Amino acid sequence: MAWTWRFEKSDGTEVTPSVTPEEFSTQGDAESWIGEHWRDLLDGGAEQVTLSEDGTKIYGPMALDAEG
């Protein structure tokens, strides 16, 4: 199983992340990574993220900005 993030503007348009993501083997690893990099991703233009497992949406979009 592969867990991946999709990076988007607030309107749902996909953007290239400023920090190179990877595929994660667990949901916890994916969530830990986003917890470590969310500020850099937000500064780089991503406003929200969606988590998927093997192409199936698990949750999101989730705003990276706590005020968003």
**Residue-by-residue DSSP string for 7-59:** EE-TTS-B---SS----BSSHHHHHHHHHHHHHHHHHTT--EEEEEETTEEEE
Mean pLDDT by 10 residues, the chain (68 residues): 95 95 94 96 97 96 81
* The pLDDT value given to residue 23: 87
Whether omega before 17 lies within 30 degrees of 0, making that bond cis, reads: no
What is the model's pLDDT at position 38? 96
pLDDT value, residue 67: 56
Which tokens go with 17? 């992340």
